[in-house]
Amino acid sequence: MEIRPVRKNLARIALSAPLSALAMATLLAACAQTPPGHDAASIARSATITRTAHGVAHIVAPNLATLAFGTAYAYAQDNICMSADHLLTVRGQRARWLGSAGVGELGRRRLPNEQIDTFVGALVDDAALLARWERNASADAKAMMLGYVDGYNHFLRLNAGRLPAACNGQPWVQPLRAVDMLRSTELAAAAGAAALAQAVVSARPPVATPAALVEPKAEPRIDLAAAEHLLREWGVIDPPLGSNAWAFGRETTADGSGLLLGNPHFPWVGINRFWQMHLTVPGQLDVMGASGGWSPVVQIGFNRDVAWTHTVSTGKRFTLHELTLVPGQPTSYVVDGQPVAMVPRPVKIAVRGADGALSEKTNTVWTTRFGPVLVLPQAGLAWTAQRAYAVQDANVGNQRMFDTWLEMAKARDVQGLRQAASRLGLPWVNTIAADRAGNAMYADLSVVPDVDAALLARCAPSPQAAALFRSPAGLVVLDGSKGDCQWRRDPASPAPGVIAPSRLPVAIRGDWVQNANDSYLHTHPQQTFDASISPLVGDAVVRRARTRASIAEIGELLAAGKITPQAVQQRLFDNRSFTAGVVLPDLLAACEATPPSQPEAREACTVLKAWDRRFDPGSRGAMLFREFWSAGAAIPGVWRVPADPAQPVTTPSGLKLADADVAGKLWAALAAAAGKMRSAGFALDAPVSAVQRSALGEPAIPVHGGIETEGVLNNVGNQFSPALTPRGWLIDYGTSYVQTVRFDARGPVASALLTYGQSSDPASPHATDQMRAFADKRWPVLPFHAEDVARARVGEVLRITRP
Q: Which residues are catalytic?
A: 243
Helices (H), 478-618: 545-560, 565-572, 578-593, 599-610
**Cα(first)–Cα(last) distance of the chain, in Å?**
12
Beta bridge partner(s), residue 341 = 332
SS3 label, residue 47:
strand
Question: DSSP code of 433?
Answer: E
CA dihedral 408→410→413→414, nearest 10 degrees, is: -10
Residues 412, 432: Cα–Cα separation, whole Å:
15
Judge whether 361 and 284 are in contact, CB under 8 Å.
no
SS3 label, residue 394:
coil
Strand duo 275-281 + 338-341: pairing:
unpaired
Residues 739, 287: Cα–Cα separation, whole Å:
14
Residues 168, 464: Cα–Cα separation, whole Å:
53
Judge whether 309 and 434 are in contact, CB under 8 Å.
no
Judge whether 248 and 256 are in contact, CB under 8 Å.
no
Buried b (16+ CB within 10 A) or exposed e, 175-191: ebbbbbbbbbbbbbbbb
Judge whether 669 and 739 are in contact, CB under 8 Å.
no
In 3D space, the residue among 289, 295, 229 whose CA is nearest the CA of residue 264 turns out to be 289
- Between the alpha carbon of residue 428 and those of residues 230, 316, 330, 444, 446, the distances in Å are 21, 8, 34, 9, 5
In 3D space, the residue among 535, 217, 236 whose CA is nearest the CA of residue 379 turns out to be 236
Residues 652, 27: Cα–Cα separation, whole Å:
62
Residues 365, 344: Cα–Cα separation, whole Å:
6
Round the CA-based radius of gyration of the chain to a whole number and report it. Answer: 27
- Judged on CB neighbours under 10 Å (0-12, 13-18, 19+), 602 is middle
Amino acid at 2: E
Please tell me the chain's helix, strand, coil percentages from 3-state DSSP, rounded to the nearest 5. 35, 25, 40
Q: 438 — alpha (psi -120 to 50), left (phi > 0) or beta?
A: left
Residues 349, 520: Cα–Cα separation, whole Å:
43
| DSSP string over 662-688 | HHHHHHHHHHHHHHHHHHTT--TT-BH
Beta bridge partner(s), residue 706 = 715
Residues 49, 797: Cα–Cα separation, whole Å:
6
Within 8 A by CB and 6+ apart from 265, the residues are: 240, 241, 242, 243, 244, 715, 716, 733, 734, 735, 736
Question: DSSP code of 452?
Answer: -
In 3D space, the residue among 703, 502, 549 whose CA is nearest the CA of residue 615 turns out to be 703
